[in-house]
A and B are shown apart, each in its own frame.
Chain A
């Protein structure tokens, strides 16, 4: 009898949340709470747009220094060194604010959904599943937000430089550099949104199901 039960346990004892289901569930959670999701996404968009505008401004200046006329080079070179440190400081601050914003919004989502989380645990969800759902949700928002942010950042900077340097901007257009910076920003945006979701996801995973279900919101 005991051997039979252990064998039975070995065969049957698996709990799983296939990725496709997790993905679907996260996507729907985002859709059904579109307002809140948009706020999270917007904060990522703003942070990444700022980062990207700084980066692409650097890219344009680098382009001018490499390919532009001599008289612009010297003044820009000086500018660049001066501004860089302040830029790094500002960008880090804005991204930090972005992370705090995400943590805040996700914590609220955890409280709002505590009953749902408790129910899923009663149905056999592991803590890991809950964490997975929250991280997935956040990284999706992060991905969309950073792509939009990158587009806005490049576009805004481009328009500014177009007004300042007119046709010159086309000849020095630093496509490669912009692409590199865009990829960097998108990856950073996803990392930031996942970072912001880790603590809320941990809180939700640690909730006892009985308590989570009882909690009224």
Chain B
């Protein structure tokens, strides 16, 4: 299968101004992520993970350099096109789940489809299906505060998949979850990655993420320190079982 770059960054730099002092958070990131890959961006806090993640997701604009999503330079997009890109091409998952508190699980999953112009009934059917896929078929009409953290994150995953995006961006998806629930969420993401052929990009420092990732990008001080394939990882991290290797 030819490798098709779904995300490409060239010389990505981001500078924040702390008062009058410029702070270089990203210092030139060149990166290619291919369709269907499961990527983990790892690095210590303050390394620029989340900033890089925001750039890739079109949530923030780079100071210098370019980001291509599906071969489209996102700096060239106007507000409308950017919103469309977020709606159709990218699904977001957050550490804090970020479900809309006034809406039920079902409505939360329906929302991106409604924005995308889908008919109400069709959106409802699809949302039901997605919630069943993530194992929440029995909790369609629960509000977020009636769900546990793991369940909320499942709703968020279903919501991210709503418009069949090419990419799912997950920022610390397991950060607020306990060990076991975190593992379940990681497995669910991997399952979606395989079944729906969606590329998954996670920014994380959860080592549990390592054994499902196709590649791991280590970031340090705003630079790519190294990029590792899974095979190499299995040797490096002794405890990781190669259950899905190959």
Contacts and interface: CB of A to CB of B under 8 A. Distances in A.
Contact of B83 (A32, A115, A124): A124
B86 A126 contact: no
A116 B94 contact: no
Nearest to A214: B50
A177 to B, nearest CB: 42
A14 B84 CA distance: 8
B86 A124 contact: yes
A148 to B, nearest CB: 24
Task: State which size class the interface on B falls in.
Answer: 20 to 34
A143 B96 CA distance: 36
A124 B84 contact: yes
Interface in A136-183: none
A124 B100 contact: no
A124 B87 contact: yes
A66 interface: no
A85 interface: no
Contacts of A121: 83, 86
Interface in B113-164: 114-117, 120, 159, 163
Q: Which of A21, A208, A209, A211 has the most CB of B within 10 A?
A: A209
A122 B92 contact: yes
A119 B100 contact: yes
Nearest to A26: B102
A126 B120 CA distance: 19
Contacts of B163: 124
A208 B55 CA distance: 12
DSSP majority for the A interface?
helix
A83 interface: no
Contact of B86 (A32, A123, A129, A211): A123
Nearest to A17: B115
Contacts of B79: 126-127
B60 interface: yes
A108 interface: no
A125 B83 contact: yes
B103 interface: yes
Contacts of A65: none
B102 A28 contact: yes
B101 A124 contact: no
Contacts of B81: 13
B88 interface: yes
B63 interface: no
